[in-house]
A and B are shown apart, each in its own frame.
Chain A
Amino acid sequence: MLTTPRLIAIALCAALNFAVGSIVYLIKLPLYLDSIGTILCALLIYPDRRAAFVCSFLAAMISTVITTLFINPFLIWFSATELALALVAAYFIADAEAIFRARPLPMLRFGTRVVLYGILTGVVSAVVSAPVVAYVFGGVTGSGSAFLVAFFLKAGQHLMAAVLHSGFTAEPIDKTLQVLFAALLFRATPKDFIEMVRARPQPAPT
């Protein structure tokens, strides 16, 4: 499963997850896009779904560990979210790889898929992240969604419910952007690199 090109793809996607954070800081965007590489890895390795999931998850975990050590020490707590994201990427998002690479770009189908997968990924991410946000971080992780949590708490909701509702509101937007970026990067990737990554290891001659 882990051929040399796939190891490269994993490492590249993990590095992309890490580097995008620095890009966002450099051009002063009010976002933090940390899973583009995870989704992209699954797209690159599809149609071998199992390999796509394993490689995507490895990319996510490696970037999480490195980011935890050097930039954001709290990211490691969201490892379960990374697992869920890799599953969604390999078993749902990767299905749209032909649409993402079609030329000319079918705008309506492309846009519909991006939004649908973004919402799906966002909802899954919100559900899986909620216990961590609530019980490890007390509902506040330092992003703007904390004010949404505060709003729901002020309205009388319990902490877990407030975190969930905040997640359902903010996560789909963030994840839709990430699915969009991953799709555009996948679209731009040279075909010979994709072929190299998807080539299965050859069995030894008998």
Chain B
Amino acid sequence: MGSRELIAGPNFSGRSRTVHLRAQSFAAPTYFIGPYAEAALSGLSSTIADEIELYRAKDHTTGRSRFGTIPTDPRRKPQTLSGGEQVLLALHCFSLSGYRALAIDTALEQLDASNRREALHYLDASDSFNVVLTDNRACPPGWNCTHLTAADTKFACNWEGLRANVRQCRAPVVAISELSFGYRPEHDVFSNAAVTLEPGQAHRLFGPNGSGKTTFLKILVGALLPRFAQITLDGAPYEPWRSGNRALALATQNPDQQWCGATLGEDLSRRRAALASRGEADALADDRVMPLARDLGVPSLDQHLYELPLAARKRISWLWPFAGAYPWIMLDEPTIGQDDDTCRELARTLEALCSAGYGAVFVTHDDAFASAVPHRVLHVENKQIG
């Protein structure tokens, strides 16, 4: 029977390093699926077909069952897949390969509940390979569990301080109707969809991988032009794709894709300048953001953002929505890579912000986190929201 080991523990306790050490101890190359963007991909393929061909065992004698099928055009570029879809592709490639060991560093957290169950079942069922896994949500029965306890406090957060400084806000009602959008003319993501987002409340966008949750967020901030949509803020027409975003602060799933600078100071100064053009720079004044940055574990504005550990980068990405520059807060998969304590505190903070009058929309496959935040569920499927 192949070994099954779960490395558990809080953030910054050395789990990733331990996964590396275990992989080395297998004394054979280990297939690796990491936590950061595109970590599931080889980085050597321009199409899904090439990715599969790269990993396919040349002697076709892996002796293990295939994981999943690829329900998309094999000529599609793997970089265009969502994070969850990339993880599924990686598991499919592993199942075709000759690797006798697999290491996964929190990557399964990007899967929706159904895919996650299927992935864990696959890892459990086969005895032809060893697995070492670190995951903030999973506790598969029958696995050896190594608990790491000593955590580096360098990036510790002060959640009480953060919640104590939440300002009051009066977020507008966001009403969306007749929303139609598709990336390609023949394939709609939304068709005449309608939903109303109420202030003082959190809303969870819930749906399978690839159903359009992130697309909806992009439309609301004006990055995508819908074929047709009527959006109002407290009844007043709002077209962010034309007039710019002035109501919704988005923290992206991959924090690295939202920075406006190499250092935290550079990032904030550019956002401040953008707000200043509308006379709204106060929200990002130094006396406001410096304590907030410290509370989120980054005390220095000279900190090079890309030199932070991934979990710390994820947390500091919440500074922008928590600063209160915009009355609506949008978090896309905020709990990926975050330990249970952080998820609980984040949930409490979201609740506090909603109580203060902000509106919130979050996307998550983490049911435990979602249940800790009083929220309304918006199902995103079949081209509708609601």
Interface size on B, residues (CB 8 A): 5
Structural contact, B307 and A192, CB atoms closer than 8 A: yes
8 CB contacts below 8 A, A to B, read: A187-B262, A188-B261, A188-B262, A190-B304, A190-B306, A190-B307, A191-B307, A192-B307
B48-69 interface bits toward A, Cβ cutoff 8 Å, 1 = contact, 0 = none: 0000000000000000000000
- Rounded to whole angstroms, the CA-CA distance of A192 and B307 in the bound complex is 9
The 3 nearest A-B residue pairs measured at CB: A188-B262, A190-B306, A190-B307
B240-284 interface bits toward A, Cβ cutoff 8 Å, 1 = contact, 0 = none: 000000000000000000000110000000000000000000000
- Rounded to whole angstroms, the CA-CA distance of A78 and B226 in the bound complex is 40
Which of A182-201 touch B at CB < 8 Å?
Answer: 187-188, 190-192
Chain B binding site: helix, strand, loop or mixed by DSSP? Answer: mixed
Residues in A whose Cβ lies below 8 Å from that of B261: 188
Which of A166-206 touch B at CB < 8 Å?
Answer: 187-188, 190-192
Shortest Cβ distance from B306 into A: residue: A190
A89-133 interface bits toward B, Cβ cutoff 8 Å, 1 = contact, 0 = none: 000000000000000000000000000000000000000000000
- Rounded to whole angstroms, the CA-CA distance of A186 and B306 in the bound complex is 14
Shortest Cβ distance from A192 into B: residue: B307
Residues in A whose Cβ lies below 8 Å from that of B304: 190
The smallest beta-carbon distance between B319 and chain A, in angstroms, is 19
Shortest Cβ distance from A184 into B: residue: B262
The smallest beta-carbon distance between A119 and chain B, in angstroms, is 27
- Rounded to whole angstroms, the CA-CA distance of A13 and B307 in the bound complex is 20
Residues in B whose Cβ lies below 8 Å from that of A190: 304, 306-307
Which B residues contact A (CB, under 8 angstroms)?
261-262, 304, 306-307
Chain A binding site: helix, strand, loop or mixed by DSSP? Answer: helix
The smallest beta-carbon distance between A68 and chain B, in angstroms, is 17
Shortest Cβ distance from B43 into A: residue: A8
Residues in B whose Cβ lies below 8 Å from that of A187: 262
- Rounded to whole angstroms, the CA-CA distance of A188 and B305 in the bound complex is 10
Residues in B whose Cβ lies below 8 Å from that of A192: 307
Beyond A190-B307, A192-B307, 6 extra complex contacts between A and B, CB < 8 Å: A187-B262, A188-B261, A188-B262, A190-B304, A190-B306, A191-B307
- Rounded to whole angstroms, the CA-CA distance of A191 and B307 in the bound complex is 9
Residues in A whose Cβ lies below 8 Å from that of B306: 190
- Rounded to whole angstroms, the CA-CA distance of A187 and B306 in the bound complex is 13
Residues in B whose Cβ lies below 8 Å from that of A188: 261-262
- Rounded to whole angstroms, the CA-CA distance of A188 and B262 in the bound complex is 6
- Rounded to whole angstroms, the CA-CA distance of A192 and B262 in the bound complex is 14
The smallest beta-carbon distance between A194 and chain B, in angstroms, is 12
The smallest beta-carbon distance between A42 and chain B, in angstroms, is 20
The smallest beta-carbon distance between A62 and chain B, in angstroms, is 14
- Rounded to whole angstroms, the CA-CA distance of A119 and B103 in the bound complex is 52
The smallest beta-carbon distance between B163 and chain A, in angstroms, is 33
Residues in B whose Cβ lies below 8 Å from that of A191: 307
- Rounded to whole angstroms, the CA-CA distance of A190 and B313 in the bound complex is 14
Shortest Cβ distance from B266 into A: residue: A188
- Rounded to whole angstroms, the CA-CA distance of A187 and B262 in the bound complex is 9
- Rounded to whole angstroms, the CA-CA distance of A188 and B261 in the bound complex is 8
- Rounded to whole angstroms, the CA-CA distance of A190 and B307 in the bound complex is 7
The smallest beta-carbon distance between A159 and chain B, in angstroms, is 41
Shortest Cβ distance from B261 into A: residue: A188
Q: Which of A187, A188, A191, A192 has the most CB of B within 10 A?
A: A188
The smallest beta-carbon distance between A10 and chain B, in angstroms, is 14
The smallest beta-carbon distance between B373 and chain A, in angstroms, is 34
- Rounded to whole angstroms, the CA-CA distance of A190 and B262 in the bound complex is 9
A59-94 interface bits toward B, Cβ cutoff 8 Å, 1 = contact, 0 = none: 000000000000000000000000000000000000
- Rounded to whole angstroms, the CA-CA distance of A190 and B304 in the bound complex is 8
The smallest beta-carbon distance between B32 and chain A, in angstroms, is 16
- Rounded to whole angstroms, the CA-CA distance of A14 and B210 in the bound complex is 31
Residues in A whose Cβ lies below 8 Å from that of B307: 190-192
- Rounded to whole angstroms, the CA-CA distance of A24 and B151 in the bound complex is 44
The smallest beta-carbon distance between A141 and chain B, in angstroms, is 29
The smallest beta-carbon distance between A201 and chain B, in angstroms, is 21
- Rounded to whole angstroms, the CA-CA distance of A105 and B82 in the bound complex is 38
- Rounded to whole angstroms, the CA-CA distance of A191 and B262 in the bound complex is 12
- Rounded to whole angstroms, the CA-CA distance of A190 and B306 in the bound complex is 7
Q: Which of A187, A190, A192 has the most CB of B within 10 A?
A: A190
- Rounded to whole angstroms, the CA-CA distance of A187 and B261 in the bound complex is 11
The smallest beta-carbon distance between B98 and chain A, in angstroms, is 22
The smallest beta-carbon distance between B266 and chain A, in angstroms, is 8
